[in-house]
Structure 1
Amino acid sequence: MKKYWLIGLYALALTSCDSFLNCEPENSFSSEGFLESESDLRLYTNGFLQSFLPSEETIAWGGDQYADYCATRSSTTFLIGDTWDDTQQGGWGTDDWGELRQINYFLDHLPNAKGKVTDAIYLHNEGVGRFWRAYFYYGMVRTFGDVPWYETTLDVDNRDELYKPRDKREVVMDKILEDLDFACTNCSTDKTLTESSTLITKWVALALKSRICLFEGTYRKYHTELGLQNSADKFLRASVAASEELMTKGPYKLVSTGDVETQYRSLFTSEDLNTTEVIWGISFKKDLRMHSITWKLFSASFGANWSLVRPFVNMYLMRDGSRFTDRADYTTMQYMDEFQSRDCRLMQTVISPSYQRKISGTVKPDAPNFSMTSTGYQLVKWAIDDDVHVGKATANNSIPIFRYAEILLNYAEAKAELGECDEAVWNTTIKPLRERAGVDGKIPAAYDPYVAAYFKNQTTDKWILEVRRERGAELAFEGVRYDDIMRWKLGDLIDKVWQGIYIPQKGEAYDLNGDGVKDVAVVDKEPPAGDKIKGVQYVVIGKTNRLSGGDHGYIEFGFNQGRKWEDKKYLHPIPLTATQINPALLPQNPGW
């Protein structure tokens, strides 16, 4: 039976085909004898999950490692200087469009099952196929903008379709919305599908629609160069509708254990997906399916030193709901003090002074390690607190893809962008999220100048700014931040120098977690072995590190990487390999 899924892959390798878009599967099974039973349909759609699911690392840092709030040891070539061009660009090859071909082949041959399965099963499977087509095209539009739309596998003689020009963004996005609407209407909510939060259901389709439509609505609003502002509200309202349906009819709610210092992070470190809040995720099990995320987060060589940056950390509120940046001493507050009475998501996202983990079998305090962090704000959200997983791909914590928390945030942001956010919206979205993190959920009286300045004074609408603050705190390193920055048209936030913890005096050693042991010193030159303080990590000022004030200030990193933002980078170029085969794909994206 597994051959049903593999036959499409075999076809992609056939050299006799003019294009992988028209290769017909060749196998001992004819199309007339296949996809005729519920088990056939289930096997084929399970193949979609095996092939198209994002990886655990794509969710945990993926594109977000290149977003505004993350310092990383090495950036992507795409963001460095102005050296990227269409010869280096991928994403348009056999493997990429082959995914679409698998989906369309399934949908084309789904009628084989008519009359042999119930109408509900038939419509659910069509919804699953159309879910994956929307998912595929969403990725293509985010990357390339205009792309050719195909909703069927093509005949070898249909050269007009095989070599047609790109369809306009608005055409493709309308088609995506049609597919999403079908999936949201027809995908099942049967408990056998929903109970694991790993399969495609009506609720998963609504979550994808909520995310995609928010992306497209705000992209059109802020990217005025597209001339699509007048249609932005259509997508914002579609996001609102999808979110509302999930909020009022779905079975999900925020996880609440009563412990504000642990309940948030438990969503990301537990073996079982918490199906109270997780709508869709990737399941891992000890000794059966495991990953290396903990290893990479606690490795000086295997990982990339993913770390938050100080300007972003400053946006986490105080627990009484007041702004950290309203404190007179916030600019010079040291690491030991800045976590005190703060939003509890901060201490559950990065190592805090109270952080402990099991080291060699014993639970001990553990301070940021500057061989694993560049700023001092070392990512720990996805890590299991046991060094037994370091050096081994044995982490078994499952990975949420869609959470109910994101749906609340999508709803609040879409309403804010429509000018319709009010106390009622706030009380059902932002307030419960803040209260789960131990923060007073009161509505601020006015907009926050710090947050407005962080976002380049693009808006002074307090509702929009507070939702953006909340998205950052709640969804950090969950695979959405880079896309947020792209849709808000704030790409130039990405090439800033990364700033970390505050160091009062160069050459002095500091205890970061209050255990009586000095942890770090910023120096011009590492001292001789005999002069070193036991346990101290020496951060040497030079090509990669410096202090913002010369002999004091924020640790700064990344100033030598050559990251350079240009607005053409909101889209990638169409690869040269594609335009050589099909010149109708030209003209190239703007600036490339």
Structure 2
Amino acid sequence: MLAVCVATSSCTSVLEKDPFDSINSDNFFKTEADLELYANGFIQRMIPAWDAIVFGDNFSDIAATNASTVYLTGAWTADDQGGWGVGNWQDLRNINYFLDHIDRAEVSDEIRQHYEGVGRFWRAWFYYDKVRTFGDVPWYEHALDPADETLYKGRDAREFVMAKVLEDLRYAATHCVATKDASASNITRWVALAFKSRVALFEGTYRKYHTELGLTATADGLLQEAAVAARTLMDAGVYTLVNSSANLESQYRSLFTSETINSMEVLLANNFNDALSRWHSATWHYNSGSAAARTSLTKQFINTYLYLDGSRFTDQPDYDRMVFDDEVHNRDYRLKQTIRTAGYTRTVGGVAGTPVAPNFAVTLTGYHPIKWSLDHDRHDGSANSYNSLPILRYAEVLLNYAEAMAELGQMDESVWNTTIRPLRERAGVDGSAPETYDPYLQAYYLNQTNDKWILEVRRERGIELVLESLRYDDIMRWKLGELLTRPWHGLYVPALGQPLDLNADGTYDVVVSAAPLAGINYYNVVLSDRFTLTDGTHGNLIYHVVRNWEDKKYLRPIPTSAITDNSNLSQNPDW
């Protein structure tokens, strides 16, 4: 039952020397090498897969997709829900088995405490995922035998489980090694602190905005814990932002397209390697019109990018009537590093430096992502991308600290200058603090707040972390699920039949028409029940996928199969 390293090639020799089912506490948990091998199994099994990292934002408010998800478009029931199977809970048993037997290792207290911290980190990781998905879940602190009656207990309260999660993270952030890991693939004190800041921020804001839980009195304590964890990491000076004034137009994107992780900023990553044929399909996903979701950013989100001088794009009287090339000009340099704009080139048909525009065979809105894509068309139809994928970045730590302080009412210009300002300045944007709140952002976030600090932190969080699979969780914790039903607006179309040059290279790229046009060599978007314009014959393109929202969807239902197996499990409200 001990899954040290199921289906991982790195464990083959171990399994040959000692049969898998005979590895137990009597003959295995002896040396530091044993602890290291077992702990490496957690990385193998629990690190997010490439697809969970690069397109988790597909079902948030900022991305249009060709079909969305049945959870939002269809009649989802508890029969459809997964995430509670035996294999899933086996990960927890593996962790607890490790923690139950770690004291048998003949190692120093320092080594033992480090590996206990690693085990407790992954238990916190496991339960954080469970709580944000299901809410209340049963807490198990030890490995159980199949005959143990506790296996069939009911769900423990959210506040109890999250208290245990943070207890585990405190231990990891105290006892894991403080050595910086250049590979960004091992659990250290710094990784634990970064993750703790994410978890405490999530739970603190969830309790603040989800008043129905009756836990608002405990929100500030969690926000304070998030701020302390982030600040501890910031003050340590071990990590910093990748930032060179000579690379303002490229350094942000390089974090997501490089084979070698930049350990200056990245704390934890899923590493890929071309020489070892360890590849993924991210480039294929973002450049395929038939084999993927056609992920496209929305006009409403693109509007939030500032001009380089720090002024707001949406303060322009005609911001919603600018053609694409004018719209993206002179904006925050992260925009041109996130979507295709004028000047973007790829290797196409073996020709390097070929200008390419947003491709409407792929994009639904005109805002065609490049953040995770390699700039060579040989990756567009094969699973052979080898850029390593960040999971935890120092930039997120700065944002976690800024948001926690803003939500606590403790944000000021000194906090701003150590968090949001450097993020903007490394993208070429004037980093001055805002003088007033932004009415566009206030409306975007459904008038939930007009606090200028909270709104600007949300702006920055959306832009800096776009397509890094954190946005859906942000929407859930802010209790803004209705944003997931907002129509997906695209670029501005001045008139039907008017061709558009999207990257200013002198050739047309797309035309929108009421009926198919003959004799053209550029893409033709034809109005239909899927594509319309906001003003009938002109306006912003809209791609239609009807989605619905009910507040019960803030938590997933407990799967019917789980309740059938364990009648002590209760169902979430209204499911």
- Flag whether TM exceeds 0.5 (same fold): yes
1:436 is aligned with what amino acid? R
- CA distance in 2 between partners of 1:3 and 1:235 (Å): 34
Given that 2:59 and 2:472 are in contact with CA atoms closer than 8 Å, whether structure 1 keeps it comes out as yes
Q: For structure 1, which segment, 90-99 or 215-224, has the greater mean C-alpha deviation from structure 2 after superposition? A: 90-99
Deviation at 1:340, TM superposition (A): 1.1
**Superimposed CA distance per residue, residues 178-230 of structure 1 (whole angstroms, 9 cap, x where no aligned partner):** 00000000011235xx1211111111111110100000000000000001000
- Following the alignment from structure 1 to structure 2, what is the Cα–Cα distance between the partners of residues 6 and 285? 21
Give the match for residue 188 of structure 1.
177
Determine if the alignment matches structure 1 residue 427 to structure 2 residue 410.
Answer: no
2-side partners of 1:370 and 1:5: how far apart? 43
RMSD of aligned Cα (Å): 1.5
C-alpha distance in 2 between matches for 1:34 and 1:342: 57
Deviations 1:462-510 (A, max 9, x none): 0000000000110000111000000000000001110000000011111
CA-to-partner distance for each residue in 1:44-71, whole Å, 9 max, x for gaps?
A: 1111101101011211112x10000000
Match of 1:280 among 268, 278, 287: 268
Q: How does 1:4-403 map onto structure 2 within 5 Å?
A: 4-6=4-6, 27-62=21-56, 64-81=57-74, 83-113=75-105, 116-159=106-149, 161-191=150-180, 194-258=181-245, 259-288=247-276, 289-362=278-351, 363-403=353-393
- 2:573 alignment partner in structure 1: 590
Displacement of 1:421 after TM fit?
0.3
Distance 1:6 1:356 in 2: 42
Give the distance between the partners of 1:156 and 1:504, measured in 2 at CA: 66
Match of 2:16 in 1: none
Offset at residue 4 of structure 1 (A): 4.7
| Inter-partner Cα distance in structure 1 for 2:534 and 2:218 | 44
Instruction: Report how far residue 32 of structure 1 moved.
Output: 1.5
TM superposition shift of 1:257: 2.7
Inter-partner Cα distance in structure 1 for 2:475 and 2:7:
40
TM-score, normalising length from structure 2? 0.96
**What do residues 357-382 of structure 1 show as CA deviations (whole Å, max 9, x unaligned)?**
11122211101111110000011100
Distance 1:381 1:149, change over 3 A: same
Q: Which position in structure 1 is the counterpart of 2:526?
A: 540
Distance 1:34 1:122, change over 3 A: same
Percent identity over paired residues: 54
**Which residue identity lines up with residue 228 of structure 2 in the other structure?**
A
Who is 2:548 aligned against? 564
- 1:444: Cα distance to partner? 1.1
- Supply the distance in 2 between the matched residues of 1:384 and 1:5 (Cα, whole angstroms): 31
Could you tell me how far 1:305 is from its partner in structure 2?
0.9
Say whether 1:581 aligns with 2:565: yes
Q: Matches of 1:472 and 1:214 in 2, distance apart?
A: 15
Describe the superposition over 1:518-567 as per-residue Cα deviations: whole angstroms up to 9, x where unpaired: 11111111123xxx222x10001002111111000011002xx3310111
How much does 1:512 deviate? 1.0
By how many angstroms is 1:287 displaced? Answer: 2.8
- Which residue is equivalent to 1:481? 471
- In structure 1, give the amino acid aligned to 2:405: K
The count of residues paired between Structure 1 and Structure 2 equals 561
Rounded Cα–Cα distance in structure 2 between residues aligned with 1:284 and 1:26: 27
Residue number in structure 1 paired with 2:13: none
Distance change in 2, residues 1:35/1:4 (3 Å): farther
Distance 1:366 1:103 in 2: 48
Which amino acid in the other structure matches residue 118 of structure 2?
V
SS at match of 2:22: coil
Contact 1:34 1:112 in 2 (8 A): no
What is the CA–CA distance in structure 2 between the aligned matches of 1:172 and 1:345, rounded to whole Å? 38
**Secondary structure in structure 2 of the residue aligned to 1:584:** coil
